[in-house]
Amino acid sequence: MIDLREILRESLRFHPRVAYQGLADDPRKGRVAEELPDLVPFAGEYRGAIVILDWDHRLPSRQLVLRVYCFTSTTSHDEGEKAWETRLDEIGKKDKFPEFDVPDFEGLPADEAYECDVTLEGEVGRVRLTSPWRRDIAESDSEAAVDVARRSEEFRKIRAETAGRPPHLGDLEAVGWCPPCESDLPVWTLDVWYLTQFDGQIGRGKSLLVHLDARKVIAIREFTVRVG
């Protein structure tokens, strides 16, 4: 399996407007490489990666965006490289006047896509999974995760603590896959939500992180969601 930190040190790519501003130096690359958390493949092994320090659409920039595109096959890696070249050409054609906005590298095809904010000094923020498929859960996995959560001692305690919860807030719901870099757990989990409050705009509740292979809840956290 590839070493993402080695790719960061040796092959980190830069948006042209990041390079123009002199923000593509080795100390910054080194700090980003040191602070990037371990990324665990959802399935298989990483066979390639494209790592880009992207810009924030400001001149001068106030912060940067690290985009990590991971590939578990040579075919998907080749598609990612072609998309990189196409986007780079598009940026080059539009990058005529510094005061005008140009595209960034968001949304390149990949098996897994991550991003995080990076300060101008190279400090790495919280890494988040941005792959669209994170919300695509097989019905069997969703049902299994909800069943595990419902039978857990953790959920029993939550029910006891929220005895006056209005029934219209609904049932447990599996909402998405959660990677280790977001949960600080060693494995991927399914995020099962239990809404406890809703004022018409903002919902709050408990998230039970279910490890499907172990058939257990391995962490609980709070969530807040805004509707509309």
pLDDT at 105: 98
Question: The tokens of 112 are what?
Answer: 């897994």
Note if the pTM is more than 0.95: no
pLDDT at 98: 64
Instruction: Map out the domains of the chain as residue ranges.
Output: 4-133, 137-226
Model confidence at 71: pLDDT above 80: yes
Order of strands across the sheet that contains 202-211: 173-178, 189-198, 202-211, 216-226
Model confidence at 100: pLDDT above 80: no
Q: Which helix (H) or strand (E) holds 156?
A: helix 153-161
DSSP state of 45: -
* Pairing of β 13-14 and β 48-54: parallel
pLDDT at 27: 82
* Pairing of β 189-198 and β 202-211: antiparallel
Averaged pLDDT of the chain:
94
CA dihedral angle for residue 150, residue 152, residue 154, residue 157, rounded to 10 degrees: 70
pLDDT tens for 119-178 read 999 999 999 999 999 999 999 999 999 999 999 999 999 999 998 899 889 999 999 999
Taking the C-alpha atoms of residue 59 and residue 68, their distance in angstroms, rounded to an integer, is 23
